[in-house]
Structure 1
Amino acid sequence: MKKETVLNEIIKYYIKSHDFNGLPVYNMKSYDYNILCELIDEGLIEVLSEKEVINPHIKGFDFTIPVDRQKENISKDTNYSVLYPTRKALESVPLDYTKPYSVLMQKGEKQFKIIYFNIEILERYVNNPKFVIMDNGYRGNICVKDEYIDDKTIEDEYIKNYGMAYIDGKHLERAVGVFVCDLAKLSSQKQMLWKGFELTNQRKCKINAGFVDNLIKGKWVMETWIFHDLLEEIKVINEQCEHMGIPKLFNKTFGTHYSEMPEGFRNILLPTLKNYYDFVLVFEKIIVHNISYKTFQKDTLHIQGIDRKDELGKDKGSLVMLEEWLGKNIRTQENITDLIIKPLKTIRNIRQKPAHELTSNQYDVTLYQKQFDLMNDTYTAIRAIRLFFANHPLTKDVKVPEHLVSGKGIVNY
């Protein structure tokens, strides 16, 4: 049997397989142990087995496996070992340069190599109602809505996983990272589209640690996203209100599944003034506009209600009532105005500007930090309300998730 025959079978299987898979030794048509050993010695093939990796059918990383062990792993054609052509062996393979990420795989790139992109690429999907973005802060995925699955212009555009990444620099600046194996599955047109957003200095980018832990190391991510935790705090506060015998503080609650979260309640992608104001508009509706004045009007155990009207007979605003009610019913050394009221007033004040003024859109990378700080301050305020309510004797049976109790591992990605 010729060496070329054996090598070509391995190369052909790798190139033609759906996910650039290796050829299992037990599936070889031209198995020849001596020839395979020669190919290993010449640096033309390499062997992965279940002894080295969980799934040897994909080459997720570059490995340095001793030659003797590789040979031992293919000593029988019944062994659970998988053969891959090396970069050297793939040098002569014809390449389709209309698919730049498929080309990387055709050249032998490791499947879990992360390519970094300008986060603007995600705007294409967020602003297109044909797509669903499942965003969990540190990672997400992009898929086509069921009703548009046959749309030929979309070409089954699907990103199984993207990770939140960061660009080294003076300011917080986000990027997005995607495995090359996922990019290689896109059509030629869509690969070229993504290529246009690829960042030139890949070394300045770093993927979020949760993305690596979850998808590469196979670990559970124990941290929780502050966006999810804020919605959970609201639910707990409403349950506390029920136990105290007063109307719920928030008119509406939201789940943390992507389909239950308010649209636009996520980290802003492109740092533009429009995106920032759009986020604050949603944020204000979730927090400030969502506060019920009915909560403050009922007397119950250890709680005194307040009047809805002011001295002039006008209705008080929800934040005015909240501040007055907290001051009347909460005994604390904390400055309630600074801790709770000011962050909520900040949301409303920011919201007022685009509502009452004509504004010009601007690109400003510092908006990432402004949203980051606004989210942190607001979460601290809402959490403080929940902690104050926890001191009421009727709320002792309200179950609070452990991570909210400890306050540890709550992350603003």
Structure 2
Amino acid sequence: MTSEALLARATDFYCASDDFNGLPVHSLDIELETLRQLLRPLIEDGSLYVNYGDRHPNPHVLAFEPESVDKQLDKLAVSDLRAACLYPTVAHLESVVDPQDYAGRPYTLELALGHPVLGFHFFDLSVLESYRNDPRYYYEFDIDGIIGVHDEYYERSTMAERDQVLLQTFGLAMAKDRYWAIVVFRRYLASLSPEHQQIWKAKEEDGSDEFTPHPAYWQMSMGEWPDKVSLFNAFLGEIEQINALCEQIGRPPLFNKSYKDERPRDFGYLIRPTARELANFAGVLDKMLSDNMSRKFFQNEVPYEDEATDKKGRTVVTQRGTIRILEEWIQEKFHTEDADTRQLLEEAIKTLKAVRAMRNPNAHKIGLDAYDIGLFKEQIKLMRGAYRAVLTVRQMLQCYPGSEGHEVPEHLELRQVWDF
């Protein structure tokens, strides 16, 4: 076999495989030392790359950009070739792949041309809007996210096949002093239908070199366990801990739902920085907080109603809101001389009231239909306050008689939380 024949075989294998895989060395009936001699000129001229599986555990996919020619030659001299796979390079594939074979599939074309599967692109957040607003899709967006089709709609005639898409994972990306974006690995983009690849292509960020994947998303994607959780997950974790503490101290749960297994669809990062979007998020947050509180927790230890006399001398009874009930219960049950603790409790109640007030978009200072990049950061500020509020309530309940011995997960106890 000649070097040219070896390159042709690796190219044919790559282009014919379903997932653009490399040609396994063990499938070649060639002595390893002879193979090294055939590979050297192909590496030197930049037409072939040897993937040993030392940078990513699976050598059958090209995860990352090839290393420099010098480094490849150094490895060729000493590395064990038996588990390696051979890949034609972008430079070579551009001379043999016909882009028309992948018309309408820009991200599949990138793989066909030899670009790595774990290369990524950044997109404007608004690309998520049609998925989030369509109940046929299940959708979640935190530091990492997922999009798919609910089983009851999958492969039904009422949903076009082109729209039956799955985006197994996408993540949050950041740009200094700008705004959020999302990042998607090429391998997942390539699995979209041609129509949806075009939708995503139209939303690619022009200044992609300004963005970076969120550190936690990158860790997860590389198979590492993140050292922190997101604000959203920390918030949900604190609600779960509050209810667990309620059970331990012999009270009904403070929150009707923990949302552990039914996370609200809109409980995540904004996808458009508008006052309406922020108000909608505040509404979801309020439903998870004040609307979600159970009066049963308070066991009638503070009044649930107010009585007043109207102008005609009639008694008018009004129901107190849960925030006011909680505030008075805290004042009744928790007496502290520590100014910092009092301030934390006051801030928690203040935050709950602020979240409720923000449910009305007309109350927002910018206006109902305003578009302002700064609202991304305002949402995070609001979410930080909500997280600290439930954290404070949990810490308060840990001081209640009977709570001794309750163990809070380490990441919550140590506040190992990404606050953006």
* Normalised-by-shorter TM-score class: 0.7 to 0.9
Structure 2 equivalent of residue 239 of structure 1: 244
Structure 1 equivalent of residue 394 of structure 2: 386
Structure 2 equivalent of residue 366 of structure 1: 374
Relative to the length of structure 1, the TM-score reads 0.87
Query: Structure 1 residues 68 and 306, CA, compared in 2 at 3 Å: closer, same or farther?
Result: closer
Distance in 2 between residues matched to 1:163 and 1:343, nearest whole Å: 28
User: 3-state DSSP class of the match of 1:104?
Assistant: helix
1:40 counterpart (36, 40, 43): 43
Query: Structure 1 residues 379 and 155, CA, compared in 2 at 3 Å: closer, same or farther?
Result: closer
> How far has the Cα of 1:326 moved from its partner?
1.0
Distance in 2 between residues matched to 1:51 and 1:220, nearest whole Å: 20
1:263-342 mapped onto 2 (5 Å cutoff) = 263-298=265-300, 305-310=301-306, 312=308, 313-332=317-336, 333=338, 334-335=342-343, 338-342=346-350
1:189-228 mapped onto 2 (5 Å cutoff) = 189-216=195-222, 218-228=223-233
CA deviation map 1:231-289 (0-9, x unaligned): 2222322333333344332233221x4xx112311122122222212111111111011
Structure 2 equivalent of residue 10 of structure 1: 10
Q: 1:138 touches 1:164 (CA, 8 Å); kept in 2?
A: yes
Distance in 1 between residues matched to 2:115 and 2:83, nearest whole Å: 23
Structure 2 equivalent of residue 345 of structure 1: 353
Query: Amino acid of the residue matched to residue 280 of structure 2?
Result: D
> How far has the Cα of 1:336 moved from its partner?
5.8
Gaps of 5+ in 1: 299-304
User: 3-state DSSP class of the match of 1:132?
Assistant: strand
CA deviation map 1:328-352 (0-9, x unaligned): 2111222366322111110111124
| Bigger mean CA deviation after superposition, 93-102 or 374-383 | 93-102
CA deviation map 1:282-306 (0-9, x unaligned): 11111011222333344xxxxxx22
Query: Amino acid of the residue matched to residue 374 of structure 1?
Result: L
Identity of aligned residues (%): 30
Distance in 2 between residues matched to 1:52 and 1:128, nearest whole Å: 39
Q: 1:140 touches 1:163 (CA, 8 Å); kept in 2?
A: yes
Distance in 1 between residues matched to 2:279 and 2:196, nearest whole Å: 30
Query: Structure 1 residues 158 and 252, CA, compared in 2 at 3 Å: closer, same or farther?
Result: closer
Distance in 1 between residues matched to 2:47 and 2:413, nearest whole Å: 56
Distance in 1 between residues matched to 2:270 and 2:169, nearest whole Å: 18
**Count of matched residue positions in the alignment of Structure 1 and Structure 2:** 394
Structure 2 equivalent of residue 100 of structure 1: 106
Distance in 1 between residues matched to 2:161 and 2:324, nearest whole Å: 52
Distance in 2 between residues matched to 1:317 and 1:161, nearest whole Å: 40
User: 3-state DSSP class of the match of 1:141?
Assistant: strand
User: 3-state DSSP class of the match of 1:56?
Assistant: coil
CA deviation map 1:341-396 (0-9, x unaligned): 1111101111245599xx74332212211211111112212211111121122111
Relative to the length of structure 2, the TM-score reads 0.85
Structure 2 equivalent of residue 25 of structure 1: 25
> How far has the Cα of 1:80 moved from its partner?
1.5
Q: 2:43 touches 2:72 (CA, 8 Å); kept in 1?
A: no
Query: Structure 1 residues 108 and 84, CA, compared in 2 at 3 Å: closer, same or farther?
Result: same
Structure 2 equivalent of residue 143 of structure 1: 148
> How far has the Cα of 1:311 moved from its partner?
5.0
Distance in 2 between residues matched to 1:68 and 1:367, nearest whole Å: 51
Structure 1 equivalent of residue 256 of structure 2: 251
Query: Structure 1 residues 71 and 155, CA, compared in 2 at 3 Å: closer, same or farther?
Result: farther
Query: Structure 1 residues 56 and 328, CA, compared in 2 at 3 Å: closer, same or farther?
Result: same
Q: 1:46 touches 1:70 (CA, 8 Å); kept in 2?
A: no
Query: Amino acid of the residue matched to residue 307 of structure 1?
Result: P
Q: Are 2:128 and 1:122 equivalent residues in the alignment?
A: yes
